[in-house]
């Protein structure tokens, strides 16, 4: 039987799954397609790490490892929903919830001192940060706005904040002594095994990483950020924000860059509260509190410190006397520096650019902002977008073009594969990358506290990326631009490879260029303002950034994008959009039984999954299901059936009902399969006849608290009951 794997993830996408998956399963069965789930939620991944401590009933298989293996096979058909990329505070909260549910899990050892604690820490580190995506992404990314979504955005343009030519908003970046400026890059000749070695000032050698397998043609990079220069830079930016009267904000990605960026975030916290850490830093550290975890974790931990009230008062004084901080939640006093995972650059910067280049201050008002992005590798992209808006004003969603993306990400390419090769340097010396013969391929002189990292990009991934770029440019008849900077070490190697591999393809009549990222941004925005499309062909980090930046400006959200990963061995991975607003949606559901999460990304992913399955398994009914789902989704958008914003309107569950109704009606109208049409004609008739009853049943539950039995690991029966409150709708699906 043909099979689709639907991932069981976290927060709002997980709750939506309890409502949408029964619809998918019922419709898919009519085509002989089995829909199975695999639990790759943060809680599920934690549980899978500790089978030795749990009962037989509590244990879970390592579903992520299973799916990683499946992704290398041609039969793979995986629909991947957004999942938590866990910061340490999120991981600790998950552990605490699971412990309260009876799971005998150890606490997260912040500073492991025994072999047992180090082994426990190693297990937890496997699920920290973006542990899921690098495992599943055995292919490169093809991400674009479906025509139905783009047409809807043009007909119903979202609001855009007005820009002033006098705006003080800007990006601050190091530009020297950072990852970009210190980068070295080599192309490996022949399969080899590398080692990363720290050579101390006294000649003592410490192996940081050994047995690092590399393949012929692989691009390997190494670089570091100077801790001392970072601190000098941050001190200057705190002063600049105060002098200019703008908000101070830091923009990192502590979820995906789970080793380096929490450390950088800690430097930011210490720089802003320099006086506090100068006076109390040793006490804070002795209490097991770390600036890397954010201001919120420190403040909550001070309750157990002897003079905690005194230290807390010092932090409050620092907030009062320092430059105004950008806020995550001004009503609750949650600042930009409270939680490292609250302000994620790829979501926060586009939102700021869309909103007049401003963020929210403590008074709940918008204010010009100094966006601090320490590493200069990609900061210029956002500065170019700010410059464009300051000069030309806000973009117009009713007329603007689009920027689809072809992203290099297969096999944990580039920086997003650096986690196991990133180190906070313990002592001054030199870090060397050596090949199997002991030759030094790359070398950096470092100081204590510097952040050093290496990353890899497989030659096969690069070849596939170039092929996908040409394929998309040809299919859409759209110019494509490789966002690569010849003055950056890694990009210089990639440019040579791209130029070589383009010769393997028919590019006659295609417009394919190479531009540095800031120049490519300006070029793409110039074309956007003329209503023209431009494919951005980017590396892994810029893939992440661009697939939020442009969709948020074009569509108001990145959750409405079609995201396909053609897996290199023939399978398909279908991603469903961003999950950044998921926590707030869960909070609202628990408070008043109303889920605002929009499952539109799931609709697109499912249609693409069915289309792929139809080709792989020669399943005509799967093709019909996919085609009719696309038509139903367009009707869904035109009828404005997305979740509303307030009680009394349909929420996520109501949107699923209307998608099911329109899909059934499209299936009933199709002429390629009379039996299938007849089956769905009956369902469509009953859903249409009972429309008001079903809507009334869905609306009736709103306005009171909902019990789902847990945040990170809801109780399945309770969650299903909350997310499927219409008996009439449930019975209709069962009849199919």
pLDDT tens-digit series, residues 681-692: 999 999 999 999
CB atoms within 10 A of CB 379: 25
Tell whether 259 and 364 lie within a shared domain. Answer: yes
Bind-site residues for substrate: 130-137
- In-domain check, residue 92: yes
Domain C-terminal end among 376, 392, 408: 392
Other CB atoms within 10 Å distance of the CB of residue 73: 12
Quick one: average pLDDT of 29-55? 97
Q: Which residues are annotated as a binding site?
A: 80-85, 130-137, 143, 346, 543-544, 548, 580-581, 585, 596-598, 645
pLDDT tens profile 50-69? 999 999 999 999 999 999 99
**Neighbour tally for 506: CB within 10 Å:** 8
Collapsing DSSP states into helix, strand and coil, what is residue 9? coil
Q: Give the whole-angstrom CA distance, residue 222 versus residue 421.
A: 9
- The burial class, CB within 10 Å (0-12 / 13-18 / 19+), for 681 is middle
CA distance 653 to 63: 27
pLDDT band at 590 (very low <50, low <70, confident <90, very high): very high
In a domain, 32, yes or no: yes
Same-domain status, 238 and 378: yes
8 and 130 co-located in one domain:
yes
Look at residue 280 and tell me if it is in a domain: yes
Does some domain include residue 542?
A: no
In this structure, the answer to whether residues 231 and 346 fall within a common structural domain is yes
Count of Cβ atoms closer than 10 Å to residue 445 Cβ: 12
Identify whether 418 is part of a domain. Answer: no
Give the whole-angstrom CA distance, residue 600 versus residue 229: 45
3-state SS, residue 575 = strand
Question: Of 334, 365, 392, which one is at a domain's C-terminal end?
Answer: 392
Give percent of the chain with pLDDT exceeding 90: 90
Q: What is the mean pLDDT of residues 423-443?
A: 97
Q: How many CA atoms lie within 13 A of 411 on its CB side?
A: 18
Task: Based on the fold, state whether residues 133 and 235 are members of the same structural domain.
Answer: no
In terms of domains, do 131 and 241 share one?
no
How far is Cα 648 from Cα 702, in angstroms, rounded to an integer?
A: 7
* 445, part of any domain: no
Task: Decide if pLDDT at 1 tops 80.
Answer: no
Query: 3-state class of 601 per DSSP?
Result: helix
Final residue of a structural domain among 392, 417, 444: 392
Residues 718, 583 share a domain? yes
Mean pLDDT calculated for residue range 700-711:
97
* Binding-site residue ranges for D-threo-isocitrate: 143, 543
In this structure, the answer to whether residues 249 and 377 fall within a common structural domain is: yes
pLDDT digits (tens, 9 = 90+) for 314-338: 999 999 999 999 999 999 999 999 9
Q: What is the Cα–Cα distance from 446 to 429, expressed in whole angstroms?
A: 5
Structure tokens at 107: 């606490």
Residue 208: the pLDDT is 97
Using alpha carbons, list the distances in angstroms from residue 450 to 251, 416, 475. Answer: 19, 19, 46
What are residue 267's phi and psi, to 5 degrees?
-60, -40
Q: Which domain holds residue 96?
A: 2-138+567-735
| Residues 479, 513 contacting (CB under 8 angstroms) | yes
Is 547 inside any structural domain? no
Nearest to 7 by CA among 696, 432, 436, 602: 602
Alpha helices in 86-218 (DSSP H): 88-100, 115-125, 133-136, 147-155
Residue 525 placed within a domain: no
Do 584 and 720 belong together in one domain?
yes
Enter the DSSP assignment of 292: G
- Residue 360: its pLDDT value, please? 96
The total number of structural domains that make up the chain: 2
Global pTM value: 0.86
User: Which residues fall in the annotated binding site for NADP(+)?
Assistant: 80-85, 133, 580-581, 585, 596-598, 645
The binding site for Mg(2+) consists of 346, 544, 548
Q: Tell me the average pLDDT across 280-298.
A: 94
User: What are the backbone angles phi and psi of residue 205, rounded to the nearest 5°?
Assistant: -105, 135
Element (H, E) at 186: strand 184-187
């Amino acid at each position: 039987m043909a099979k689709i794997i639907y991932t069981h993830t976290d927060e709002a996408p997980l709750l939506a799954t309890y409502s949408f998956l029964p619809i998918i399963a019922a419709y898919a069965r009519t085509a002989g397609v089995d829909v199975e789930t695999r639990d790759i939620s943060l809680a599920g991944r934690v549980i899978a790490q500790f089978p030795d401590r749990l009962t037989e009933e509590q244990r879970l298989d390592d579903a992520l490892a299973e799916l990683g293996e499946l992704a290398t096979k041609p039969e793979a058909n995986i629909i991947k929903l957004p999942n938590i990329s866990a910061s340490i505070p999120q991981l600790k909260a998950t552990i605490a919830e699971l412990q309260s549910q009876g799971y005998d899990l150890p606490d997260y050892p912040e500073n492991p001192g025994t072999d047992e604690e180090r082994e426990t820490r190693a297990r937890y580190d496997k699920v920290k940060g973006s542990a899921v995506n690098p495992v599943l992404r055995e292919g490169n990314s093809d991400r674009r706005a479906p025509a139905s979504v783009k047409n809807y955005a043009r007909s119903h343009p979202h609001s855009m904040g007005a820009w002033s030519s006098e705006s003080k908003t800007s990006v601050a970046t190091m530009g020297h002594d950072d990852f970009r400026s210190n980068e070295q890059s080599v192309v490996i000749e022949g399969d080899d095994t590398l080692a990363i070695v720290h050579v101390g000032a006294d000649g003592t050698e410490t192996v940081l990483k050994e047995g690092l397998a590399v393949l012929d043609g692989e691009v390997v990079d190494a670089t570091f950020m100077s801790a001392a220069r970072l601190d000098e830079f941050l001190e200057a930016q705190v002063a600049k924000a105060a002098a200019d009267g703008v908000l101070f904000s830091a923009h990192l990605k502590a979820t995906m860059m789970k080793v380096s960026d929490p450390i950088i975030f800690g430097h930011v916290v210490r720089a802003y509260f320099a006086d506090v850490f100068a006076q109390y830093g040793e006490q804070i550290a002795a209490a097991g509190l770390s600036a890397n975890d954010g201001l919120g974790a420190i403040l909550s931990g001070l309750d157990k410190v002897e003079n905690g009230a005194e230290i807390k008062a010092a932090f409050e004084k620092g907030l009062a006397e320092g430059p105004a901080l950008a806020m995550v939640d001004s009503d609750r006093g949650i600042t930009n520096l409270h939680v490292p995972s609250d302000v994620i650059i790829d979501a926060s910067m586009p939102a700021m650019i869309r909103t007049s280049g401003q963020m929210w201050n403590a008074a709940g008002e918008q204010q010009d902002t100094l966006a601090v992005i320490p590493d200069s590798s990609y900061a210029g992209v956002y500065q170019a977008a700010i410059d464009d808006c300051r000069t030309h004003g806000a973009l117009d969603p009713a007329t603007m073009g689009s920027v689809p993306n072809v992203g290099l990400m297969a096999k944990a390419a580039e920086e997003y594969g650096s986690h196991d090769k990133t180190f906070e340097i313990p002592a001054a010396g030199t870090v060397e990358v050596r090949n199997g013969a002991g030759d030094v391929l790359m070398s950096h002189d470092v100081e204590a506290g510097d952040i050093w990292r290496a990353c890899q990009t497989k030659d096969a991934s690069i070849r596939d990326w170039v092929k996908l770029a040409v394929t998309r440019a040809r299919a859409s008849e759209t110019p494509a631009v490789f966002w690569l900077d010849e003055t950056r070490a890694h990009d210089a190697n990639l440019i040579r490879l791209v130029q070589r591999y383009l010769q393997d393809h028919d590019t006659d009549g295609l417009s394919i260029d190479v531009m540095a990222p800031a120049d490519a941004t300006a070029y793409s925005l110039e074309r956007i303002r003329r209503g023209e499309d431009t494919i951005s062909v980017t590396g892994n980090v810029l893939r992440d950034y661009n697939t939020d930046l442009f969709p948020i400006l074009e569509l108001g959200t990145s959750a409405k994008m079609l995201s396909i990963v053609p897996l290199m061995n023939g399978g398909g991975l279908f991603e469903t959009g961003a999950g950044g607003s998921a926590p707030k949606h869960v909070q609202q559901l628990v408070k008043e039984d109303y889920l605002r999460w929009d499952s539109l990304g799931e609709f697109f992913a499912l249609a693409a999954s069915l289309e792929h399955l139809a080709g792989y398994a020669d399943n005509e009914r799967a093709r019909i299901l996919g085609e009719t789902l696309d038509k139903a989704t367009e009707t869904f958008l035109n009828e404005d059936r997305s979740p509303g914003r307030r009680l009394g309107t349909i929420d996520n569950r109501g949107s699923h009902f209307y998608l099911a109704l329109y899909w059934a009606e499209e299936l009933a109208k199709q002429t390629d399969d009379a039996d299938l049409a007849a089956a769905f004609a009956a369902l469509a008739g009953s859903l249409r006849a009972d429309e008001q009853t079903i809507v009334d049943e869905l609306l009736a539950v709103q306005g009171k608290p909902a019990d789902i039995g847990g945040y990170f690991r809801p109780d399945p029966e309770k969650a299903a009951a909350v997310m499927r409150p219409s008996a009439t709708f449930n019975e209709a699906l069962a009849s199919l």
